[in-house]
């Protein structure tokens, strides 16, 4: 059994459900009172639960494609431990073949969507119900993929499924915000997980070697621990002002994130975790991604994170605001008349769109705030 330090308390006293076991140790190490692992890999799940300690971690067999099993798992957790604070919906499978849309097997498509989309939706649904019923202002984190942002030359069904997860997260975050429940997702790039290695008969080193040329940090390869750090951030109070966010965990060379035909997606947020070569105890303070002219679909007419500059802007470019001190404000109170998205070609700081006071406001389609170190 692993003994955990009491120094880190980012999840102190929280009851957590994880579909999959990758982050169980990290959550326990950060003070979670109970970690419930829900999976179909019984031997692995039991082994991880035992290594953490059965007084703090339990394993439940759960096939997320069966909604009744998901509901039963959530109900059991609440009945046994009193509440549910965090749900990390991480169950997923990869494409069985490298299919383009011309070769797409709808049989394989249905199976993959049953796990990656239907199963994810069931977990979000029943976790949210438990939180609402218990009056818990909880956090729900889902696993998407970088493929949802940039697309893929192959794996059409997998890419579509992860794009659906992002849509689920953005919709659920708006619907559950009134209950104080945050919903976010994490989108890793190529990662040498056992699932991926087994599916494509590759060793972890082979996957890492394949991915390394596409990263901008020499000698740094994405690890499971890096993704777990990002999940911990979204699950904890460190991200109390973050919801509806797709956190991309990827250190791309310039142009890699432009694989999408949409040029507005070239500024995807990247996250370098505390366990990487840049030693930090919490995520850095500058994790703000600015999309100068994001497409209309990214705009939300209520509760968009805006940032006010402490001094008047000298340029119409939103980037100029980052030379000043920025503090969060709420669209609901500051711009109640805003009813429709901005045109795709216009910047939110254009003078004709705002009053003099509101010209000191800048909007980003993807905002991530982090505490000071």
- Give catalytic residue positions: 158
What six digits make up the tokens of 255?
């142009």
CA 72 to chain centre: 25
User: How many angstroms separate the CA atoms of 290 and 61, rounded?
Assistant: 42
Token pair 């994490």: residue: 186
Q: Distances in Å between the alpha carbon of 337 and those of 74, 169, 173, 249, 333? A: 40, 26, 22, 35, 10
| In contact, 46 and 40? CB cutoff 8 Å | no
User: How many angstroms separate the CA atoms of 156 and 153, rounded?
Assistant: 8
Q: Which residues pair with 328 in a beta bridge?
A: 307
Q: What is the CA radius of gyration of the chain?
A: 21
> What does the DSSP 8-state code read for residue 362?
E
User: How many angstroms separate the CA atoms of 42 and 58, rounded?
Assistant: 11
């Amino acid at each position: 059994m692993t003994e955990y330090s009491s120094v880190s308390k980012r999840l102190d006293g929280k009851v957590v459900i994880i579909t999959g076991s990758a982050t169980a140790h990290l959550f326990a190490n950060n003070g979670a009172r109970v970690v419930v692992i829900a999976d179909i890999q019984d031997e692995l799940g039991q082994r991880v639960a035992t290594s953490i300690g059965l007084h703090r971690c339990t394993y439940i067999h759960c096939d997320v494609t069966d909604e009744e099993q998901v509901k039963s798992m959530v109900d059991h957790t609440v009945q046994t431990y009193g509440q549910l604070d965090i749900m990390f919906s991480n169950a997923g499978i990869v494409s069985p073949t490298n299919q383009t849309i011309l070769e797409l097997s709808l049989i394989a498509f249905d199976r993959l969507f049953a796990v990656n989309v239907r199963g994810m939706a069931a977990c979000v649904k029943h976790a949210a119900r438990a939180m609402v019923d218990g009056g818990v202002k909880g956090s729900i984190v889902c696993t998407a993929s970088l493929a949802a942002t940039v697309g893929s030359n192959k794996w059409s069904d997998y890419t579509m499924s992860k794009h659906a997860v992002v849509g689920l997260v953005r919709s659920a975050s708006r619907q559950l915000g009134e209950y104080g429940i945050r919903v976010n997702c994490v989108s890793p790039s190529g990662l040498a997980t056992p699932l991926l290695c087994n599916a494509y008969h590759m060793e972890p080193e082979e996957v890492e070697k394949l991915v390394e040329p596409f990263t901008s940090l020499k000698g740094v390869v994405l690890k499971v621990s890096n993704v777990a750090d990002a999940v911990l951030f979204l699950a904890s109070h460190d991200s109390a002002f973050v919801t509806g966010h797709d956190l991309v965990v990827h250190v791309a060379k310039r142009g890699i994130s432009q694989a999408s035909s949409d040029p507005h997606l070239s500024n995807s947020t990247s996250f370098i975790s505390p366990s990487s070569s840049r030693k930090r105890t919490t995520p850095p303070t500058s994790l703000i991604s600015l999309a100068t002219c994001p497409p209309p679909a990214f705009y939300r007419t209520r509760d968009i994170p805006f940032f006010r500059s402490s001094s008047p802007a000298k340029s119409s470019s939103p980037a100029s605001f980052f030379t000043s001190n920025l503090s969060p404000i709420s669209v609901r109170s500051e711009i109640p008349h805003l009813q429709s998205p901005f045109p795709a070609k216009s910047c939110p700081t254009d003078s004709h769109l705002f009053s003099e006071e509101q010209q000191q406001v800048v909007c980003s389609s993807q905002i991530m705030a982090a505490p000071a170190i």
